Amino acid sequence: MNSLRNKNGITLIELVAVLVILGIIAAIGFFTIGDTIFNARVRSYEVTVSSLNEATEFYALNENIYTEDIFDGYDSNSERISVLFNTGYLTLLPQPVAPYSYIWDVDAQEWQLESEEIIVIPEENVGYDFESERLVQVIEEGGVIASGSFTDTGTSIDSTYGLLFIDNNNETYTVAVTAALTEGTNGGYGVFFETKLNDALKDSGYIIQFDRGYNNGEIIVRKRTDSKEGNPLYRYSVRFDDDGDGDFNPTSGTKNNQNPWWTETHEFKLVVELNEDITLNKIVSLYIDNIFIFEYAFQSGILAGEENLNQTGIRVWRDNTKFYSIEIS
């Protein structure tokens, strides 16, 4: 028996099959978009918690509040938030959608995001002081992967071509590396952030490089894919005063990769935070010796729920670098 066809020659069975496929595609699209909206909403709530804590700090400081509880006398979270709003420390009254709410933790004296199941709180700090901790022991204890050349001197770990990765597992965090380059005009070191390792231990993510050999001395943001670096995403020229003292100048001056500053010990600190822009969903800020250098907005490759894959660490090339400590907080 011949199958029934429409005027264009399509059987009814084929038409039904097409409609089923379209329905499946629509369902997949619905759930994908739903997940994206949900994740963006949670990120915005986390940013609001940071704003609440910042506003509370200013409130306590400017209002000269020294009681054990900053909101002493206020029993509900809505009252506490209203105080910040009424005194001008908030421009809007934040209203999260259930099951989320903003909770004032009296013991911790900080705002937290709470749902029916979880409270978002900072992870524990991870830190290694190589003046007192041995690299071999650190690796054996787990959570650290090292490859290439590393020498444990007893006061530092030294490397010329080495990579070291540390479990991070945080969505927002600070990475502080204390290090010094040895004599020379080339080489440098980099700090990984928002990075994942595949089964072959090849990294994909981002790195900020402290590189005296690049164009007479620059600090560079690069993206890495399967342990290969892309072109610079952002370049910062390291400059020094022209008045004869040759001091580092964050905003002006002359580049000089032979300046003694390059071989001095510095704290190289990255602060990774959420960004309200969903496309560029995170911002990394760089500080050197607690001096703000720059910030860069980027799209993280670590999706919501993948924070346990996040790695940070260091990379060295060409000339020897001495690392004294690494801390994630």
Q: Which helix (H) or strand (E) holds 126?
A: strand 126-129
> Which residue, 200, 184, 145, is CA-closest to 167?
145
Whole-number Å distance between alpha carbons of 313 and 176: 10
- Distances from the Cα of 52 to the Cα of 57, 60, 78, 113, 219, angstroms: 9, 12, 12, 11, 33
DSSP 168: -
Whole-number Å distance between alpha carbons of 275 and 323: 31
Predicted pLDDT of residue 190? 93
Tokens (6 digits) for 6: 């429409």
Peptide bond just before 96 cis, omega within 30 deg: no
Predicted pLDDT of residue 2? 44
Whole-number Å distance between alpha carbons of 289 and 240: 15
pLDDT of residue 202 exceeding 50: yes
pLDDT of residue 48 exceeding 90: no
pLDDT of residue 118 exceeding 80: no
Domain boundaries defined on the chain = 1-121, 126-328
- DSSP H stretches of helix in 121-163: 135-140
Q: Is the pTM of this model over 0.95?
A: no
Q: Which CATH architecture has domain 126-328?
A: Sandwich (2.60)
Q: Which helix (H) or strand (E) holds 176?
A: strand 173-181
Tokens (6 digits) for 306: 């993948």
pLDDT of residue 119 exceeding 90: no
